[in-house]
Amino acid sequence: MLLTLEVPVHHFKDVEGYITGHFVVASYLYDPRYRDYYEKRKDDLMLILDNGSYEGSLVKGYELVILAKKLRADYVFAPDYFNERTNTFTEFLSFRSLAFSCGLRSTIGYVPVGSPEEQIEQVIRLVTNYDVRFIGISSRYNNRLLVRKYENELIELRKRYNVKYHMLGLCRWDEPLGWKQLEPFSMDTVKPIKAAYYGLRLEDCPRGLGKWNVDMYVKDKRLLKRNLGVLKGVVDGL
């Protein structure tokens, strides 16, 4: 299992040794401090490049492909639409064709958050034909019964084709489906840093739609390190 975080620029050093990869929001790469850090470490870090739709700053198409190639991203999330979910599957197919034609070697991830049920069924049927190796289904925008309905199919995809899945939004001890579904990108990326920022211990905090930014400071370094240590112990123990 990979432990991956989205890290503010002021805390790059704080997370060294605690995480196995970095979750990089594409639009944040326009900040030179953020971009330079990952460009210098593209051969050393495991990088997941996100399209940024949840932050309200979607980067898509050719621009996303170029960023993925430039950073040598291990994973790249195909563009999705936060408020127009029915377009996500169509955009995924278009992005997959573009990525293939441009010689992109990154593993493509697909997250049909809030998409109609038939689109989730489509991607499960087509997943092996389009080189998808990551699927994210939201326990918030897709109801819990739907998540449970597809869990067995997702487990089978993981066994047969090494397709990883993540039940998005499962981030606390009291979540019904538990921690063991958080593969491969645990804790919805930046939970420990956000927890310390808000004075909480591994509690969920706002991230999307501009509430998170690369300049975030965590004042309580002890709480930050404790959160990271607890999380690393949890992940290593699964």
State the pLDDT at residue 115: 63
pLDDT at 35 over 90: yes
State the pLDDT at residue 72: 94
Helical segments of the chain, H only = 32-40, 61-71, 88-101, 117-126, 144-161, 191-197, 221-236
Judged by phi (left if over 0) then psi (alpha if -120 to 50, else beta), residue 210 lies in left
**Domain ranges across the chain:** 4-236
Task: Tally Cβ neighbours within 10 Å of residue 168.
Answer: 22
CA distance 184 to 136: 10
Q: Which of 83-92, 172-181, 205-214 has the lowest mean pLDDT?
A: 172-181
Phi, psi of 48 (to 5 degrees): -115, 120
Q: Are 218 and 190 in contact (CB under 8 A)?
A: no
Task: Tally Cβ neighbours within 10 Å of residue 64.
Answer: 26
Q: What would the mean pLDDT of 28-55 be, rounded to a whole number?
A: 88
pLDDT tier, 67 (very low <50, low <70, confident <90, very high otherwise)? very high
Q: What would the mean pLDDT of 119-123 be, rounded to a whole number?
A: 69
User: Bridge-partner residues for 138, per DSSP?
Assistant: 168
Q: Class for domain 4-236, per CATH?
A: alpha beta
Helical segments of 41-190, H only = 61-71, 88-101, 117-126, 144-161
pLDDT at 235 over 70: no
State the pLDDT at residue 62: 93
To the nearest whole percent, how much of the chain has pLDDT over 70? 64
Q: What would the mean pLDDT of 215-229 be, rounded to a whole number?
A: 85
In angstroms, what CA-CA distances link 15 with 12, 185, 204?
A: 6, 16, 19
pLDDT tier, 177 (very low <50, low <70, confident <90, very high otherwise)? very low
Quote the distance between the C-alpha of residue 75 and its chain's center.
Answer: 9
pLDDT at 172 over 60: no
Q: Which of 6-20, 50-64, 201-215 has the lowest mean pLDDT?
A: 201-215
pLDDT at 40 over 80: yes
Report the candidate in 129, 115, 133, 113 with the shortest Cα–Cα distance to residue 51: 113
CA distance 101 to 190: 33
State the pLDDT at residue 66: 95
State the pLDDT at residue 178: 41
Report the candidate in 101, 168, 156, 102 with the shortest Cα–Cα distance to residue 127: 156
